[in-house]
Amino acid sequence: MEKPFTIDAGRVRLRHLRPADLPAFAAYRADPAVCRFQGFDPFSEAQAVDFIARHSVAAIPAAPGEWVQIAIARRDDDELLGDCALHRQGHEPRIAEIGITLAPRWQGQGYAGEALQGLLRFCFAELGLHRVVALVDPRNAPSVALMERVGMRREGHFRQNGWYKGEWCDEFQYALLATDWPVAG
């Protein structure tokens, strides 16, 4: 890791995950309610330790085709609030997928919107991406509202598009183009 990665966005700072984040990270990633609409199952302590070890030194952005998780911390005290994901497509690295996970105690306070605005700014202004997409379970009303609040456009409703946690689930696809970014959100 050459230069520390940080993006300040309102009250939050996007940065690498750190070993000191482990207690907060392990707690929310082990919470079944947090994992309900995510593509991952609740983490064990060992999985959380391994995950942070890998992502604390990962390149941001990761190589095309690979995911990287980025910490979302409060700017004033560096407390971990959650994490966001960035994945540039392997076959077309000018298109990326993003995702977000926030600990329950920080949900509903605007932190997720600030984090995604910062991540989108990074994607378009720094990386020069053409398109950013996000997939959301339609039953996750707060995430649906978040995507729309940050200016992403719902482009599709894919019925029973993925097998998650023992059932076929629908997905909404949201996207934002670089040409839409300056006026979005």
Asked if residue 92 is part of any domain, the answer here is yes
Residue ranges making up the domain that contains 29 = 6-134
Q: Model's pTM, two decimal places?
A: 0.93
CA angle 23, 25, 27 (to 5 degrees): 70
Residue type for position 98: I
Please give the structure tokens belonging to residue 140. 């996750």
Asked if residue 37 is part of any domain, the answer here is yes
Q: How many domains does the chain have?
A: 1
Per-residue pLDDT tens over the stretch 13-49: 999 999 999 999 999 999 999 988 888 888 999 999 9
Contact at 8 Å (CB) between 124 and 181? yes
Asked if residue 143 is part of any domain, the answer here is no
- Strands (DSSP E) contained in 10-88 are 12-15, 67-74, 80-88
Asked if residue 74 is part of any domain, the answer here is yes
Per-residue pLDDT tens over the stretch 103-153: 999 999 999 999 999 999 999 999 999 999 999 999 999 999 999 999 999
- Categorize the per-residue pLDDT at 181 as very low, low, confident or very high, splitting at 50, 70 and 90: confident
The structure tokens 């391994």 sit at: 50
Domain with residue 40: its CATH number is 3.40.630.30
Please give the structure tokens belonging to residue 28. 């929310």
Contact at 8 Å (CB) between 141 and 39? no
φ, ψ (nearest 5 deg) of residue 78: 65, 20
